[in-house]
Amino acid sequence: MKSLVANFSKQLTEAINIGNNAKLTASKNKISNVLICGLGGSGIGGNIVSELVIGDANVPINVTKGYFIPAYVNENTLVIISSYSGNTEETLNCMELAISKNAKIVGITSGGKVLELCKSNSLDCILVPGGMPPRACLGYSLTQLFFVLNFFTIIGNKFKNELDASVKLLDAEENNILSEAKIIAQKLVGKTPILYATTNNEGMLIRFRQQLNENSKMLCWHQIIPEMNHNELVGWRDKNENLSVLIFRDKDEYERNNFRININKETISKYTSNITEVYSKGSSAIEKTIYLIHLGDWISIFLAEMRGFDASEIAVINNLKSALSKI
């Protein structure tokens, strides 16, 4: 897992090449909405990309993480099936339902049943390299989502330069990222992490929470500003130094959120002294998000090492899948 995280910028470069060479076919019908289907490491890209393109996309983009699709899906819907293994049972069920609705379908996978269904139904499919843990292949799936949306003229071309800039940013900042990740990981050892960010960074924050769950083998929770100012902030009433707060920030964040964060820190500091602010780097929203994703991945890896766990081990998930396969 450590080597996979270290090669993230190379994965992004490879993913960009795959996207540029993807063979897709035009929809017979005008696309009026988009649904991205996927779970875990394969699905989180949908959350992240849908947030990043919200100011550019000309149709609604939704994400589903279960067995079923919304009633609105029809022949005017672009359904993107994202399953790294190609065998995610929930996503496969969504795919079958989308086929029955005559939706325009594009698969993003390394193989499995998703590839089989794409071939047997003459559906578009983008193949990515296989044989790795899905959560270590976010660079592949996230990048393809941009290219698919662009092909169907739902977003423009600016993402291409921003992805290229993201690769350069990671390569230039890698040593600094490693250093910061180790410092932050040390602050989380023996603590329960509480993660905060503003609305436009929720996808990134979910990704980080999931990486702490899977790689670091620990529980944590996240909430979003300003939503948490309407509920969770009231829950800070008990002194607890076993809680460690990380606030992900951006130097260009909306001024009223900036003001909210300062008040939040003042309130929370009465109950725990463990508050760390983590700032993004980069010029565009894509660069900033990818930077924080990579930083978060490294934090989860260092935490796993400090806690004495193998970051790649997911025995409990494999046991669950094995049990489900017998039903």
* Strand pairing category for 61-64 and 243-249: unpaired
- Distance, in Å, from the CA atom of 181 to the CA atom of 266, rounded to the nearest integer, reads 25
Q: Is 89 a catalytic residue?
A: no
Q: Is 230 a catalytic residue?
A: yes
Residue 249: phi and psi, rounded to 5, are -130, 170
In this structure, are residues 207 and 138 in contact, taking their beta carbons and an 8 Å threshold?
A: yes
**Which entry of 214, 217, 253, 287 is annotated as an active-site residue?**
214
- Distance, in Å, from the CA atom of 146 to the CA atom of 234, rounded to the nearest integer, reads 39
- Distance, in Å, from the CA atom of 72 to the CA atom of 80, rounded to the nearest integer, reads 15
Q: What is the DSSP string of 272-309?
A: -S-EEEEE--SSSHHHHHHHHHHHHHHHHHHHHHHHT-
- Distance, in Å, from the CA atom of 45 to the CA atom of 206, rounded to the nearest integer, reads 10
Residue 80: phi and psi, rounded to 5, are -100, 120
In this structure, are residues 159 and 32 in contact, taking their beta carbons and an 8 Å threshold?
A: no
**Which entry of 10, 158, 239, 321 is annotated as an active-site residue?**
321
Q: Is 287 a catalytic residue?
A: no
- Distance, in Å, from the CA atom of 46 to the CA atom of 146, rounded to the nearest integer, reads 10
- Distance, in Å, from the CA atom of 177 to the CA atom of 166, rounded to the nearest integer, reads 14
Least Cα distance to 295 among 175, 214, 201, 134 occurs for: 175
Question: What 3-state DSSP class applies to 187?
Answer: helix
Name every residue whose Cβ is closer than 8 Å to that of residue 15 and which is 6 or more positions away in sequence.
128, 139, 140, 142, 143, 144
**Which entry of 28, 230, 251, 326 is annotated as an active-site residue?**
230
- Catalytic (active-site) positions: 214, 230, 321
